[in-house]
Amino acid sequence: MRKPDTAAPPRPADLVLTGGPVHTFDAHDRTARALAIGEGRITRVGTEDEIAPLIGPRTRVVPLRGQAVLPGINDSHLHGVWLGAMWPHLLMEQLAADAGPTAPMPALRTRDDRRAAILRTRDLLAPLGITSYTEPGLGPGEDAGASGCFGSAALADYAELAAEGLLSARVTALLLFGELDGPSTAGGFATGLREFAAPADVSGWFRVAGVKIFADGIPPMRNAWMCEPYPDGSHGSLLIDGDSAGQRQHRLEEMIHAAHAAGHQIGVHSTGDRTSSVVVAALRAASAGDGRAARHYLIHGDLLHPATLADMAAAGIGLNTQPGIAVATRHLLHDTLGADTLARMCPTRDALDAGVEVCLSSDSPVLSPDWRRGVVAAVTRAGVDGTLCGPDQRLAVREALHAYTTAPARQDGAEAWKGSLEPGKAADLCVLETDPLSIEVAALPDVAITLTVVDGRIVHERT
């Protein structure tokens, strides 16, 4: 005789989304039709019939009616304090205004000023479906900075807000021991590594992951360190202190080795091709043989030779970049670098094909934090006037979406618990009124985000 089934029935879900494409972005890129959430985690993904048994009397059911679910967006390079202080002004929009009226640089003087800026960013990002972001550079190197947006006090503000439950996106931070977009000294960097005590992590919500180093400037200003000369014959240089190119390079290498030895993830602002070659070699040497998955990465990586990309792939060094910046500054870049070099700017296609992990991000408030625009820039490489910047570097829509979700989860070292929609992972997701994989990409910025969920909690719902 068959024994009765004594297994306990499954616990009813807190929230169920059903009746539309659920793009899991798991290892097999499966698309489901429904998803259940309980206690902040995804409990089941599958067909509508498979999820139906988890609907209980207290379960909130959201009928998708064809709307699409994506993993929560992770803007892996976004200046949250600065964005909150600057909004609604964006640097690229001011540049496009041809030297018209510009917003004054913010001056955050108090704890309340900084907290208000962070919370303004929180309220801006939730309706965009952004559930995680990286604050790329806060620390004592900017404690005397005029803006008040990048000093070490902001780290404490983030930690406090996280502990108070007032954040609606998970924040990863990088420490800054030099000036933002400015010079660093090897001595000051070593002192910061040795003496600065970052705030403790707030589990799942705030974490200091490592350090940021500004290795060089940017090509339009001719202070990115280049192999070939600019039109005026100069090559740019590293931003590290030193009396010669060789000494600056040696000190940069020492900084990278010291940061890796201290257990930090390292994000290096590197735009010139000569800079990136030196940085990648130093990162490879620092991490060789120790077995640690450090997840070091280049920030921007405007110009990268094929050999540099191959070295990055071999060493697991990522690329965090913003095609929208190249597109927005294409005319300046053409005048500074020439057409042949411009075609290689922001080499996202080459990087992916070489096996490099590519994250797309906004660098906001340089660009808009609206990732939909970022996807369009990565897929079309077209400006508003239709001119192209590196059309051979275009990505597919699915690749661009992975670069805003699964790839940055790996940059965060958090792919085991976020970044894709799988049972057991954090219930971080967004719902779009139309499936972004079924429309022309140019229409994506007009597709509304109707729901944002973080840790199983609805933080945005379009009424």
Judge whether 418 lies within some domain. Answer: no
Pair (116, 27) in one structural domain: no
Q: Which of 220, 225, 269 is nearest to 245 (CA)?
A: 225
Pair (428, 358) in one structural domain: no
| Token digits of residue 165 | 């439950």
* CATH number for the domain harbouring residue 129: 3.20.20.140
| Token digits of residue 335 | 């005048």
Q: Which of 327, 315, 342, 318 is nearest to 77 (CA)?
A: 318
**Side chain identity at 242, as an amino acid letter?**
G
Phi/psi at 400 (nearest 5 deg)?
A: -65, -40
What's the CA gap between 245 and 426, in Å, rounded?
Answer: 47
Judge whether 6 lies within some domain. Answer: no
* Residue-by-residue pLDDT tens, the chain, 463 positions: 345 445 667 899 999 999 999 999 999 999 999 999 999 999 999 999 999 999 999 999 999 999 999 999 999 999 999 999 999 999 988 877 665 446 778 899 999 999 999 999 999 999 999 999 999 999 999 999 999 999 999 999 999 999 999 999 999 999 999 999 889 999 999 999 999 999 999 999 999 999 999 999 999 999 999 999 999 999 999 999 999 999 999 999 999 999 999 999 999 999 999 999 999 999 999 999 888 999 999 999 999 999 999 999 999 999 999 999 999 998 888 888 888 888 899 999 999 999 999 999 999 999 999 999 999 999 999 988 888 999 999 999 999 999 999 999 999 999 999 999 999 999 999 999 999 999 999 999 999 999 999 999 999 999 8
What's the CA gap between 457 and 337, in Å, rounded?
Answer: 48
Pair (90, 53) in one structural domain: no
Predicted pLDDT at 2: 44
Pair (318, 432) in one structural domain: no
Q: Tell me what percent of the chain is helix, strand and coil, each rounded to the nearest 5.
A: 35, 20, 45
Judge whether 176 lies within some domain. Answer: yes
**Side chain identity at 93, as an amino acid letter?**
E
Pair (197, 49) in one structural domain: no
Judge whether 278 lies within some domain. Answer: yes
Judge whether 294 lies within some domain. Answer: yes
| Token digits of residue 163 | 């502990």
Pair (138, 280) in one structural domain: yes
Pair (203, 118) in one structural domain: yes
Judge whether 42 lies within some domain. Answer: yes
* CATH number for the domain harbouring residue 430: 2.30.40.10
- 358 in helix, strand or coil? strand
- The rounded Cα 332 to chain-centroid distance in angstroms is 25
Q: Is 313 left (phi over 0), alpha (psi -120 to 50) or beta?
A: alpha
The H or E element containing residue 223 is none
Quickly count: other Cβ atoms within 10 Å of residue 340's Cβ.
Answer: 8
CA distance from start to end of the chain? 55
Q: Is 283 exposed, middle or buried (0-12, 13-18, 19+ CB in 10 A)?
A: buried
Q: Structural domain of residue 39, as residue ranges?
A: 15-70+424-461
Burial 261-274 (b: 16+ CB within 10 A, else e): eeebbbbbbbbbbb
Q: Which residue has the tokens 């997701």?
A: 429
Q: Which residue has the tokens 């290795």?
A: 215
What's the CA gap between 419 and 37, in Å, rounded?
Answer: 15
Quickly count: other Cβ atoms within 10 Å of residue 46's Cβ.
Answer: 17
Pair (31, 99) in one structural domain: no
Judge whether 4 lies within some domain. Answer: no
Predicted pLDDT at 97: 67
Which of 369, 389, 411 finishes a domain? Answer: 411
Pair (151, 60) in one structural domain: no
Pair (96, 232) in one structural domain: yes
What's the CA gap between 350 and 335, in Å, rounded?
Answer: 24
Number of domains in the chain: 2
Q: Which of 133, 163, 129, 21 is nearest to 459 (CA)?
A: 129
In Å, the largest CA–CA distance within the chain is: 91
Pair (122, 31) in one structural domain: no
Predicted pLDDT at 4: 47
- 275 in helix, strand or coil? helix
Judge whether 381 lies within some domain. Answer: yes
Q: Which of 138, 141, 159, 140 is nearest to 149 (CA)?
A: 138
What's the CA gap between 251 and 267, in Å, rounded?
Answer: 16
Pair (54, 95) in one structural domain: no
What's the CA gap between 441 and 444, in Å, rounded?
Answer: 5
Predicted pLDDT at 444: 98
